[in-house]
Amino acid sequence: MSKGVEGSSPKADGKSSSKAKDRLSNLVEHGIHKAGKFGSRMATKVKNFNPKSASKLVIDAPNALKKEYKRAGPSGVITKFPALTIAIFLFGTLFFVYHSGFMDIDDANPRPWQIKKEPSLNVNGSLDVYLPEGDPVADAIAEVQKDWSTNVLIIYVELNGSSSNITDRGILLEIDRLEKKLNYLQSDPSDDVDYILSLSTVVKEVNSSAPRVTKAFIEEAGELGCNNNDDCLTRDVAGQLSEQVNDWEWLLGEYSIPSQDRISQIIDQMYDCYDEDGVEKCEPTPGLDKLARDTDGDGNLDRAVIIVAVNESKETNALVNYYRQVMNELSSEERPCDPDEPGGETCTWAARGLEMSLTGPVPITNAVTEFSFKLFWKIFPIAVVLVALGLFVFHSDLLQTGSIRAVQGIKVIIIAGLPTLCSVFWTLGIIGWLGYEVTMTVIIVGPILLALGVSYGLHITNRYAEESGDPYEKMRIAFASTGKAVFLSAVTTVIGFISLTFTPMAPIATVGWALSGGIIVVYFLTMIMVPNLTILLDLKKAKHPPLPVFDAAVDIPLKWNIPVLAVFILLIGLSGTWGMDNVEENIDLLGMAPEDEPAVKKMKQYSSEFEAGQIGMLLIEGHIKGDSDDNIPENDDPFKNLQGIENLSAKLNLVDHTSAVSIVFLMKSVGVSVNLSVTDLQVPC
């Protein structure tokens, strides 16, 4: 018996294989026959195409729609061409997806669909936008910005594992190269830099002070006795002498890093030395303490900062990326380890133990903004999946009957979820396409629209499923009843969100405009796509009683309406009094930023090692130039104003973790003294 079965097996397999081949062959022939007939029909239609008839149909389309509107109402017009309508809106969604930020390239974690290099959304990452209009701080910042930039970057300079000093000529030359690369047009804001303050700039400023002071004295002396006459011999002689000084700048001092001896002389002037019990002790001035530090106590300055104030001519993201690129390029270039020996051994930054890192308010704000949008596109897909799961669970009859109607649940997800998903992309895409300036708070638009849009679609879908008969008739009834409720809901929601636009704070107003426009988009897409998707998928839901827990929940406010209202009024009162008083207002920029961001790490290190934090500014109005020919008496003798600034700086330095740098510090750094009102004062050049 066993042998018989084994012996017959190959024959059976051969017959089965033969039948499978015949069946496959028949299917291929049938497919070819069908394709041939389809191609023949299409060729006949193309051959018999009548342009006049097609043009007439297009011209008569408005009249046809009017007739359809009278016959079946608005739902009849909307659902006249379901498949074509859905296709048009899906193609439109692809356009707005491109402008929504979804396809922007993420350098840290690129994905296949991210192909757009430039940011889609015009996001204002400045901290100024978070100040309300008319706020005294905002007004003060606006006043400061007339002459100076408040957008500050900090380049943190570190010397690690090296016995060298920040004041070594080789190190200062590396800092100088970076400054020249960033501020390649000195005193010209077209290079994105308004000013740079560092130990390097102070050394260069002091080194170039002698020729400028000399020229100033020569020119002032040349004016003596001229009495504003056009022709004056002493003025002409002074002009010629001033030109001679220009020729001797290489000897008197240029705006460049000088020799090591001259650097040491300049740095020594930036220490306050005093005698204590017969021992001379020297401490860095507050200005030097702000620019460089000795963190390990070995007597060498091993930390420094380069403070760069940038204007708003370039986007923050592009500016930060450019600065990092420049720093990376310079760090890998090999130059003589000893600048006085050009042909000697060469070093990179790493060989010198030199490291420069970008931090400060601008990079951190940029990091927070980028992190927020990256996080949004990570979290939003999760929200979409969770919403789809919720729709499936509640509309697949799993909770109602214990059995799953998977097709029904999937249809509800498509009908209620797809238009809402398209609405989110349309809203963000419209914002990006129009170039409307927004803040990073705009990311909350997505989740809110997702929740509201799904509810709109479910209202129409459920009403449709409750009716019986022809699909178009069912949709007409659903439109006539639920459509009005959805419209009123959308209008009241828009009114609620549009109220946010009246606030004086730009981030809140941005959210108000985005959400108001987004709700309009949601309503528009819901009222067009949901009816067509419902008819295309022909949604049919089994009728069964609601869950007992829902019945019980509905009965509570019906039977106990007064106690329920009392409880809610009590909760509202507690929320507006006790709850509001206990809301903690803690807007910590570093706390909002991702901890693994290099700019954030360096900012915390800078705050710890320099006992400092963000850059702050005090606006002082007064005459400090010292010009006797400007017809302003207060400007003839600015000593008192300068002395007041110095006294204010001294008091600010008494505040914990605060050090002040002012024009007086820079004047003292120049190291040129004149006698003014029997008082020795350091004056600018």
* Mean pLDDT over each residue of the chain, to the nearest integer: 78
Q: Compute and round to an integer the Cα radius of gyration of the chain.
A: 38
Q: H or E segment at 246?
A: helix 233-247
Residue 302 has pLDDT above 80, yes or no: yes
- Residue 606 binned pLDDT confidence (cut-offs 50, 70, 90): confident
Cα separation, 46 vs 34, in Å, equals: 18
Q: Which of 33-47, 202-216, 613-627 has the lowest mean pLDDT?
A: 33-47
pLDDT at 172: 92
Q: Between 390 and 663, where is the model more confident?
A: 390
Q: How much is the average pLDDT of 278-292?
A: 81
Q: How is 317-362 classified by DSSP, letter by letter?
A: HHHHHHHHHHHHHHHH--EESSTT-TTS-EE-HHHHTEEEEEESHH
Q: Between 140 and 163, where is the model more confident?
A: 140
Which of 88-92, 452-456, 612-616 tops mean pLDDT? 88-92
Residue 250 has pLDDT above 60, yes or no: no
Q: Which of 129-138, 328-337, 435-444 has the lowest mean pLDDT?
A: 129-138
pLDDT at 236: 67
Residue extents of the structural domains in the chain: 2-81, 136-363, 372-589, 620-682
Closest to 255 measured CA to CA, from 203, 213, 215: 203
The 10s digit of each residue's pLDDT in 402-423 is: 778 888 889 889 998 999 999 9
Residue 673 has pLDDT above 60, yes or no: no
Residue 666 has pLDDT above 80, yes or no: no
> Considering the entire predicted model, what is its pTM?
0.69
Residue 329 has pLDDT above 90, yes or no: yes
Q: How much is the average pLDDT of 236-250?
A: 63
Closest to 488 measured CA to CA, from 519, 528, 449, 532: 519
- Residue 684 binned pLDDT confidence (cut-offs 50, 70, 90): very low
Residue type, 91: F
Kindly state the DSSP code that residue 48 receives in the 8-state scheme. Answer: T
Question: Is 354 within 8 Å of 145 (Cβ atoms)?
Answer: no
Residue 683 has pLDDT above 50, yes or no: no
pLDDT at 624: 78
pLDDT at 477: 84
Question: Is 438 within 8 Å of 99 (Cβ atoms)?
Answer: no
Question: Is 438 within 8 Å of 121 (Cβ atoms)?
Answer: yes
Q: Which of 192-206, 244-258, 282-296 has the lowest mean pLDDT?
A: 244-258
Cα separation, 508 vs 64, in Å, equals: 46
Which residues 6+ apart lie within 8 Å of 379 measured at CB? none
Q: H or E segment at 500?
A: none
Cα separation, 354 vs 165, in Å, equals: 10
Q: What's the full length of the chain, in residues?
A: 685
Q: Between 148 and 488, where is the model more confident?
A: 488
The 10s digit of each residue's pLDDT in 422-461 is: 999 999 999 989 888 888 888 888 888 988 889 888 888 8
Q: Which of 141-155, 237-251, 432-446 has the lowest mean pLDDT?
A: 237-251
- Residue 14 binned pLDDT confidence (cut-offs 50, 70, 90): very low
Q: How much is the average pLDDT of 644-656?
A: 83
Q: Between 601 and 226, where is the model more confident?
A: 601
pLDDT at 185: 79
Residue 524 has pLDDT above 70, yes or no: yes
Which of 100-114, 289-303, 360-374, 648-662 tops mean pLDDT? 289-303
- In CATH, 372-589 is 1.20.1640.10: yes
The 10s digit of each residue's pLDDT in 17-76 is: 555 455 555 545 555 555 555 456 555 555 555 565 656 555 666 666 566 556 666 777
Cα separation, 293 vs 176, in Å, equals: 18
Residue 176 has pLDDT above 50, yes or no: yes
| Residue 105, CB-side half-sphere exposure with 13 Å CA sphere | 6
Q: How much is the average pLDDT of 288-309?
A: 87
pLDDT at 11: 41
Kindly state the DSSP code that residue 428 receives in the 8-state scheme. Answer: H
Residue 520 has pLDDT above 50, yes or no: yes
Q: How much is the average pLDDT of 467-484?
A: 82
pLDDT at 678: 32
Residue 165 has pLDDT above 60, yes or no: yes
